[in-house]
Structure 1
Amino acid sequence: MSSAHKNLSIFSTDNLPDITEKRFAIVVAEWNEEVTNALADGAHKTLLTYGAQEDNILRVTVPGSYELSYGAQKMAQREDIDAVICIGCVIQGETKHNDYINHAVAQGLTNVSLKYDKPVVFGVLTPNTEQQALDRAGGIHGNKGDEAAITAVKMLKF
């Protein structure tokens, strides 16, 4: 279901694991920072809502979405981090740069997750316009950051 037909901030919370002792890294791309800051804030608040301790949430920034894979790897290799949430936004615009960036980031984050055997979550918006991004960063379609955080929590059950 596309996010145009779903609120990203509404999800099932059945059988969530206890995360009071879990540590999370939120890796945030600086590019499109109005959007990525809103997404990161959503992820942070969601983690707190479902039991994470403030001191167990680390936020780091990278220049853009392309750099999320490396930032995720640096966080995932740390033994004191249980899950990594990656936040970015690549807007289509007039060129095909998003096709190359989004594919590389998705593959990179998957590789990091498998290499370090821990959740590395793709919280990257891939909209056609800035308005679509804002709609998914706390706007009319909820907040993708909320969804990314709850995904990290759910994946800690494995």
Structure 2
Amino acid sequence: MATHLKNLSDFSETEVPSAAPYKFGIVVAEWNAGITNALYQGAYESLLEHGAAEQNIVTHQVPGSFELTSGADFLLKTGKFDAIICLGCVIQGETRHFDFICNAVANGLTNVALKYSKPVIFGVLTTDTQQQAVDRAGGKHGNKGIEGAVTAIKMAYLAETLKS
């Protein structure tokens, strides 16, 4: 089915482990707050729906998507989290700023994940338009925040499974 017709956040065909044993950090960019707040709601509610306890979900805001890397690093440095979900939104503008920010955030979050051997989830929308962002933050294409939460649960479970 074509992407423009599909809810990309449908996990009905996927088994999601219980989130109950894990502690999650969520780092949310304040820039494009209307979008990032919707992503956050999707992620938070999905963690609860899959069994995470409210006290095992810690949320912090950072100014923009570029700062998600530092936020994830700060949280993992505490040693208290099994996975970090990073939520942001970068919308293409008239300059190359978009490319620099998107590349820096993707590489930065990967490096933080490798540094701590913990899942750091890239829940950053990188869209051409505001409407595309809306469509992916609870609109017709689902909510990438939900996808970030499910990914965090699955990766925390994988890490735990491989330890045993």
Q: TM-score range by the shorter chain?
A: over 0.9
Runs of 4+ in 1 over 6 A off after TM superposition: none
| Per-residue Cα deviation, 1:104-146 (whole angstroms, up to 9, x for no partner) | 0000000000100110000000000001100100001000000
Alpha carbons 1:7, 1:142 under 8 Å: kept: yes
Q: CA deviation at 1:4?
A: 3.3
**Which letter does structure 2 place at the counterpart of 1:69?**
T
> Paired residue for 1:9?
9
Q: CA deviation at 1:38?
A: 0.2
Evaluate the alpha carbon distance shift between residue 134 and residue 99 of structure 1 in structure 2; reply closer, same or farther with a 3 A threshold.
Answer: same
**Which letter does structure 2 place at the counterpart of 1:13?**
T
Number of residue-to-residue matches in the alignment: 157
The TM-score normalised by the length of structure 1 is 0.94
> Paired residue for 1:125?
125
> Paired residue for 2:54?
54
**Which letter does structure 2 place at the counterpart of 1:17?**
P
Question: What is the rounded CA distance, in whole Å, between the counterparts of 2:57 and 2:25 in structure 1?
Answer: 6
Indicate the RMSD between aligned Cα atoms, in angstroms. 1.5
Corresponding residue SS for 1:39: helix
Gaps of 5+ in 2: 160-164
Corresponding residue SS for 2:127: coil
> Paired residue for 1:89?
89
What is the 5 A alignment of 1:37-76?
37-76=37-76
Gaps of 5+ in 1: none
The TM-score normalised by the length of structure 2 is 0.91
Question: Whose radius of gyration is greater, 1 or 2?
Answer: 2
Give the percent of matched residue pairs that are identical in Structure 1 and Structure 2: 58
